[in-house]
């Protein structure tokens, strides 16, 4: 799932007590915020850094994965989850604070949910609830997302807002994780979310899981670019017939016309994606059209 090489620093001291949270905590870094992550009581704490942007020295309680080059957030999560020693991985940024009681009941609830990712209720540093439950809606030839607020555990989320959530390692890796070739955070999250739902997985809110920002956060840049084209082909353009997914051959002409690329580049992109869809044809349980039309309801057979 990830081909990025890295070295490991620190992490010799593990947190093992009767009250240890039996999960891995993965901390992504941005800005200068310093998070005392090991104080939360997780059995394992992992942070991701690049060799060119080291922020901290080795810490005995924190396993730091140092990549040779800077990688995007989705690839950082792929790496961290692959390296995690535990079957569930809580992902946060270093400018976030966890304000959750990780009780045995909460832990069982998350583990028994069957979700590929349980997302939190997010709050600003002023304490205001942030609309952080993305919901899909049809918009002409594409889709748009509407950020909603929700307080009910089990509410469906299109993708993990700002990547934060508790990931089921096995299910996450079965979906292929985040697409490391996408550098747009928005389309990378959209791609992971759509693929998860189209392949029959679920991303849901756990209202007992609460995270507060310690500073302002930036909204996603939703610019239509080459990452959108990759997202479109792997998700929106896919059709299903007789329980097999495919990219229709007739769609190549429209794609060449609308892609903004030269014919040879656009044709190569389309053929490459068609081969990817064919390799994963039995994984799709619904098309994006059916998914959006029946959001919050169980997938129905393609018509």
Instruction: Give strand pairing partners of 90.
Output: 25, 166
Predicted pLDDT at 303: 38
Please indicate, yes or no, whether residues 137 and 286 belong to a single structural domain of this protein.
no
Average pLDDT over residues 236-258: 93
- Start-to-end C-alpha separation, the chain: 33
Residue 77 sits at the vertex; the CA angle it makes with 7 and 161, to the nearest 5 degrees, is 155
Last residue of a domain, one of 166, 192, 213: 213
Please indicate, yes or no, whether residues 140 and 19 belong to a single structural domain of this protein.
yes
pLDDT tens for 63-121 read 999 998 889 999 999 999 999 999 999 999 999 999 999 999 999 999 999 999 999 99
Cβ contacts of 161 within 8 Å, gap of 6 or more: 119, 122, 130, 132, 133, 134, 147, 189
Residue 282 inside a domain? The answer is: yes
Please indicate, yes or no, whether residues 103 and 173 belong to a single structural domain of this protein.
yes
Predicted pLDDT at 260: 77
Last residue of a domain, one of 153, 187, 213: 213
Predicted pLDDT at 43: 94
Tell me the chain's radius of gyration from C-alpha atoms: 20
pLDDT tens for 272-282 read 999 999 999 99
Considering 35-44, 75-84, 260-269, the range whose residues carry the highest mean pLDDT is 75-84
CA-to-CA dists, residue 255 to 96, 103, 105, 223, 240, angstroms: 41, 50, 49, 18, 19
Please indicate, yes or no, whether residues 117 and 160 belong to a single structural domain of this protein.
yes
Look-up of token digits 């594409």: 142
Cβ contacts of 16 within 8 Å, gap of 6 or more: 43
Please indicate, yes or no, whether residues 67 and 165 belong to a single structural domain of this protein.
yes
Residue 157 inside a domain? The answer is: yes
Euclidean distance between CA atoms 137 and 115, whole angstroms? 22
Please indicate, yes or no, whether residues 117 and 44 belong to a single structural domain of this protein.
yes
Token pair of 149 as six digits? 């607020």
**Band of the pLDDT at 217, cuts 50, 70, 90?**
confident
SS3 sequence of 119-171: EEEEECCCCCECCCEEEEEEECCEEEEEEECCCCCCCECCCCHHHCEEEEHHH
Q: Is the pLDDT assigned to residue 33 strictly greater than 70? A: no
Give the structural domain span for 45.
Answer: 6-213
Average pLDDT over residues 212-238: 92
Look-up of token digits 């009681």: 101
**To the nearest whole number, what is the mean pLDDT of the chain?**
90
How many structural domains compose the chain? 2
CATH (domain of 201)? 3.90.550.10
Helices (H), the chain: 73-83, 104-112, 169-174, 185-198, 226-231, 251-258, 263-279, 288-293
Residue 60 inside a domain? The answer is: yes
Average pLDDT over residues 6-12: 79
Which H or E run contains 117? strand 117-123
Predicted pLDDT at 106: 97
Predicted pLDDT at 53: 63
Last residue of a domain, one of 184, 213, 242: 213
């Amino acid at each position: 799932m990830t081909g990025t090489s890295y070295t490991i620093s620190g992490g010799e001291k593990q947190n093992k007590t009767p009250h240890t949270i039996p999960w891995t905590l993965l901390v992504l870094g941005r800005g200068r915020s310093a998070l005392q992550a090991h104080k939360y009581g997780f059995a394992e704490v992992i942070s991701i850094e690049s060799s060119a942007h080291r922020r901290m020295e080795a810490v005995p309680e924190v396993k730091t994965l140092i990549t040779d080059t800077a990688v995007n957030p989705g690839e950082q999560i792929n790496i961290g989850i692959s390296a995690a020693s535990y079957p569930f991985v809580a992902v946060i940024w270093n400018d976030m604070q966890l304000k959750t009681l990780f009780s045995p009941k909460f832990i069982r609830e998350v583990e028994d949910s069957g979700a590929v990712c349980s997302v939190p209720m997010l709050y600003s540093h002023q304490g205001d609830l942030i609309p952080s439950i993305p919901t899909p809606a049809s918009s002409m030839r594409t889709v748009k997302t509407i950020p909603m607020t929700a307080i009910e555990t089990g509410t469906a989320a299109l993708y993990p807002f700002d990547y934060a959530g508790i990931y089921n390692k096995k299910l996450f890796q079965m979906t292929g994780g985040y697409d490391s070739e996408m550098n747009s955070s928005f389309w990378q999250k959209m791609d992971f979310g759509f693929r998860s739902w189209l392949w029959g997985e679920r991303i849901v809110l756990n209202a007992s899981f609460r995270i507060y920002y310690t500073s302002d956060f930036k909204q996603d840049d939703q610019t239509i670019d080459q990452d959108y084209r990759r997202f479109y082909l792997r998700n929106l353009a896919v059709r299903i017939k007789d329980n097999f997914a495919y990219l229709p051959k007739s769609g190549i002409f429209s794609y060449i016309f609308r892609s903004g690329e030269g014919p040879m580049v656009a044709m190569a992109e389309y053929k490459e994606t068609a081969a990817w869809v064919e390799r994963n044809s039995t994984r799709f349980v619904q098309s994006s059209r059916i998914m959006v039309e029946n959001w919050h309801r169980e997938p129905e057979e393609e018509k």
